[in-house]
Homo-oligomer: A and B are copies of this chain.
Amino acid sequence: MSKVKAGIINVTGYAGVELARLLHQHPEVELTSVTGRSAAGQKLGAVFPHLSGLELTVEAALGEVDIAFSAMPHKESADVILPLVNAGVKVVDISADFRLKDAGEYPRWYGFEHPAPELLAKAAYGLPELHREQVAKAQLVANPGCYPTGAILALAPAAKAGIIGPDIIIDSKSGVSGAGRSLNLTTHYSEANEDVAAYALGGHRHLPEITQELKLLGLKEASVTFVPHLIPMTRGILTTAYAPLTSGKIGKGEQGKAELRQLYLDFYQNEPFARVTDSPPHTKHTWGNNFCLVYPTIDDRTGRLIAVSAIDNLVKGAAGQAVQNMNIMLGLPETTGLEALAIYP
């Protein structure tokens, strides 16, 4: 049987190039076309030596494919995706352009009027653990942001079970690759090394995604404070989420912790890429693979839920999840091409 033809629009960022790596290793899909602006005309392996096994040239425009991944910046992504959707091509959008259901959020958070608000309802929010069925039916999947992936999966079981109140604090720590491949003083080695800082205290663009999904899970009044931090490592996001436990919904002390753990285990029991861990997870244990590790516990003294999640921001937080979504859209086993274990140490 011939392989599915896949293409990547704007392959030259870290998400795009990680997608190329994963698709190259995918047994059912062939990466046949990659685009990029500044690098157009160059061999992919000349720009990214670790991809020199791929015999591809970066093109200015996408060739004919069965499924396209867009790694364009927001707004530009919608512009390039709309003709593809109209042409019947399946699309996974790694940008934010189809993540928010409310078109009114785009001017506020992204500074542009959405060009196709009617598509927002049809696009699936590609967090398979929550929306697998919609993804399976969708022609267009909005791949979640890296922070929302970790934050939502940390809180989803508790939110769904109705055991937490709406006052939620999400404190995330991201490796520097999350800031992309574009040059910036913040991500200059000597500035980012041996340093940590919070950023986007006025509101990060990933907040509305997180809030949207928590509300869908049942937390109608969700009042979320989300603070991301940049820490000196390349890959990984650790998210520590805090929420008050609703009185009486869960036991006290060790029993409460056991109930909570069981609730998480049940929620993720059939999930191939979400694993509830016995102890607080390390991002290192997800390095290069598609897992989200989740650890819930209770702060006995204060009656708060503390839920910690770890992902590789470029895999489960971007390219790996995109492949997972593609597998679902194509009716392939969800783990195809994503079986790699984390690389340790």
Bound-state CA distance A198–B293 (Å) is 13
Distance in angstroms from A282 CB to nearest chain B CB is 4
Oligomeric state, in copies: 4
Answer yes or no: A281 CB below 8 A from chain B CBs: yes
Given known A181-B188, A240-B229, contact A50–B341 (CB-CB < 8 A) = yes
Q: Which of A284, A342, A345 has the most CB of B within 10 A?
A: A345
Q: Which of A173, A175, A197, A225 has the most CB of B within 10 A?
A: A197
B301 touching A223 by the CB < 8 A rule? Answer: yes
Interface residues of A in 192-240 (CB under 8 A from B): 192-199, 201-203, 223-225, 227, 229, 231-236, 238, 240
Answer yes or no: A189 CB below 8 A from chain B CBs: yes
Among B18, B53, B171, contact of A171 (Cβ-Cβ < 8 Å)? B171
Answer yes or no: A184 CB below 8 A from chain B CBs: yes
Given known A49-B282, A302-B224, contact A232–B229 (CB-CB < 8 A) = no
Given known A188-B188, A189-B189, A285-B50, contact A194–B341 (CB-CB < 8 A) = no
Number of residues from A at the complex interface, CB < 8 A:
85
Complex contacts, A235 vs chain B, CB 8 Å: 194, 345
Beta-carbon contacts of A161-177 to B below 8 Å, as 1s and 0s?
A: 00000010101010111
Given known A50-B285, A302-B223, contact A345–B198 (CB-CB < 8 A) = no
Known: A173-B229, A181-B190, A232-B232. 16 other contacts (CB 8 A): A49-B293, A51-B341, A169-B171, A176-B189, A183-B184, A189-B193, A191-B284, A196-B238, A198-B306, A199-B280, A201-B308, A225-B301, A231-B232, A232-B233, A287-B343, A288-B343
A→B interface (CB under 8 Å): 14, 17-18, 21, 24-25, 46, 48-53, 167, 169, 171, 173, 175-177, 181, 183-185, 187-199, 201-203, 223-225, 227, 229, 231-236, 238, 240, 242, 244, 275, 277-278, 280-289, 293, 297, 299-302, 304, 306, 308, 310, 339-345
